[in-house]
Chains A and B, each alone.
Chain A
Amino acid sequence: MSDKKTLLEVHDLHKMFPGDIHAANGVSFKVRDKQVVAIVGASGSGKSTVLRCINQLEKPTSGTIIFDGEEITKEGVDINTVRSEIGFVFQGFELFPHLTVLKNVTVALELVKSLSAEEAETKAKEVIESLDLDDKLNAYPGELSGGQKQRVAIARALAMDPKLMLFDEPTSALDPELVGYVLDTLRLLANKGMTMVVVTHQIHFASEVADWAIYMTEGKVVEQGVAKEMFKNPKEERTKQFLASTLKDK
């Protein structure tokens, strides 16, 4: 694993919010090519903040982020190009409700990747089909189930051919019976060798799919390590307690 090239390096990341909230307090980790990294932790521990700092939906207060060999936290970096190479999947899907499924996927291909309408459509259809959504091409998001919405959101990000995919609790807004449907899609991506960082409460899923796991509390990384080992034999007392309580809930 360690012979693979590092795709993403987060180094000493801090993020302060007004009101003295230290949402990320010196977070460091690495993501290697084709690796799946899971971030777990209690609500409010700063998982979303870390993820959102990576593609700078939140501007980090300090720290460096190196993506694909380039320091993207430097002044003068074209963040739009960087973002087009990092897919982001939101807990609440955030599909564009005024556009059909097809247009949801083509809009950024045309605007950001400057593909022609036909090229964008071909590319979009290919990705939508690979996620078994071809019968929904002309549907509007309002006509889809939560699981289908999340798959479209994944298709939209995937169509950009990102080097890295970030998932912020992709199954938390779903009805329990639809969770598996979306997790299957994540498994599929992992098997295809997509590099991913996944914030999740699905410990079973994380220990099965993830290579590396990170446990956070109060903006800090308490423990990180090889996922299967960390979830089976956590070293830190707080990690043990967290895992025990999370697994008991399920």
Chain B
Amino acid sequence: MGTGHFSSVQMLDGIGIVTGTMMFYTLINGSFYSDPADIDPWQDIGFYSRSVIPRLLGGMISALQVVLIALVIGFALGLLMATFRTLSNRPLNIVATAYSDLFRNTPLLVQLTFIAFGLPEIGFNPPVFWDAVIALSLNTGAYQSEIIRSGIQAIPKGQMEAARSLGMTNTQAMRHIILPQAVRITIPPLANESVNMFLNSSLLSVIGFMDITRVGNIVAIQSFLWARTFLYVAVTYFIITYSFTTILRKAENKLKIPGLGGGEI
């Protein structure tokens, strides 16, 4: 050390200590660079909470709106595409397969960027809210179609035969016998997909949509309180997601039909 040269191990140690200390101070005081002389209103936890929490809640509500609309559209799309894939009709089958493969084999972030920033180039430029809805619907629709399709395939062949033997048309049998069972056994994976969608909605911040993550970013940039802010952000996601799964698990147990299983949520 006398020569002024650090070994790489010492250097790593040093970096570790410095960042560790910074993180510690950040957690305790809000900011490492806090100067007692400088009266920063953000340092007042009461002021912080009063100004940040409503903004985070606003971001959460926007995100939930987009996600819920996308989940509903995605479910309809998923049902339709999954049904197409069980038909013997070639063109419909190809369309449905191509759609699901395309959206499940490319990153959501790329899909979002393409729709929000790429499509305006060809004159398609809706408000960012609808960019978000379109991108998330198409993405979750692809995953949901896959989930529902495997649900349909899990229904024994005899169910369709029994329905047809009573004189039902293929469409009637699908609608009243096969799909209700398929959807019921796919509740756990669909719940899982819904949670994923909500968590992935944090990517919407990239296209300028005011979701929780973007609100958190803005607050943190203004206040320099990254740890505290993103702790709030994380807790917000956690509360929503966790209560959703808990409620759904309870509802599923209550609605359980004897002998008709689904997995654990």
Which residues of A approach B to under 8 Å, CB–CB? 55, 57, 80-88, 90, 92, 94-98, 107-108, 111-112, 140-143, 156-157, 160
Evaluate contact between A83 and B165: CB separation under 8 angstroms.
yes
Q: Using Cβ atoms and an 8 Å threshold, which residues of chain B touch A57?
A: 161, 164-165
Evaluate contact between A84 and B167: CB separation under 8 angstroms.
yes
Tell me the complex Cα distance, A84–B158, Å. 17
Q: Given A87, A90, A112, which contacts B168 in the complex, CB threshold below 8 Å?
A: A112
How many residues in B have their beta carbons less than 8 Å from beta carbons of A? Answer: 22
A-B contact count (CB 8 A): 75
Evaluate contact between B260 and A97: CB separation under 8 angstroms.
yes
Evaluate contact between A160 and B258: CB separation under 8 angstroms.
no
Q: Using Cβ atoms and an 8 Å threshold, which residues of chain A touch B161?
A: 57, 90, 94
Q: Using Cβ atoms and an 8 Å threshold, which residues of chain A touch B257?
A: 97-98, 140, 142
Tell me the complex Cα distance, A67–B165, Å. 15
Evaluate contact between A143 and B258: CB separation under 8 angstroms.
yes
Tell me the complex Cα distance, A112–B166, Å. 8
Q: Is the interface of B mostly helix, strand, loop or mixed?
A: helix
From residue 151 to 190 of chain B, which have CB atoms closer than 8 A to chain A? 156, 158-159, 161-169, 172, 176-177, 180-181, 184
CB-defined A-B contacts under 8 Å, sample of 21: A57-B161, A80-B164, A81-B167, A83-B166, A83-B167, A90-B161, A94-B159, A96-B159, A96-B163, A97-B259, A98-B257, A107-B177, A108-B163, A111-B172, A112-B168, A112-B172, A142-B257, A142-B259, A142-B260, A156-B166, A157-B166
Q: Using Cβ atoms and an 8 Å threshold, which residues of chain A touch B259?
A: 97, 140-143
From residue 236 to 265 of chain B, which have CB atoms closer than 8 A to chain A? 257-260
Tell me the complex Cα distance, A43–B49, Å. 76
Evaluate contact between B167 and A112: CB separation under 8 angstroms.
yes
Evaluate contact between B258 and A142: CB separation under 8 angstroms.
yes
Which residues of B approach A to under 8 Å, CB–CB? 156, 158-159, 161-169, 172, 176-177, 180-181, 184, 257-260
Q: Using Cβ atoms and an 8 Å threshold, which residues of chain B touch A112?
A: 166-168, 172
Task: Select from chain A the residue with minimum beta-carbon distance to B182.
Answer: A98
Task: Select from chain A the residue with minimum beta-carbon distance to B166.
Answer: A108
Query: Chain B nearest CB: distance from A73 CB in Å?
Result: 17
Evaluate contact between B181 and A97: CB separation under 8 angstroms.
yes
Q: Using Cβ atoms and an 8 Å threshold, which residues of chain B touch A55?
A: 165
Tell me the complex Cα distance, A221–B260, Å. 40
Q: Using Cβ atoms and an 8 Å threshold, which residues of chain A touch B258?
A: 140, 142-143
Evaluate contact between A90 and B158: CB separation under 8 angstroms.
yes
Tell me the complex Cα distance, A39–B181, Å. 34
Query: Chain B nearest CB: distance from A165 CB in Å?
Result: 11
Q: Using Cβ atoms and an 8 Å threshold, which residues of chain A touch B176?
A: 107, 111
Query: Chain A nearest CB: distance from B151 CB in Å?
Result: 12
Tell me the complex Cα distance, A111–B172, Å. 8
Evaluate contact between B167 and A80: CB separation under 8 angstroms.
yes
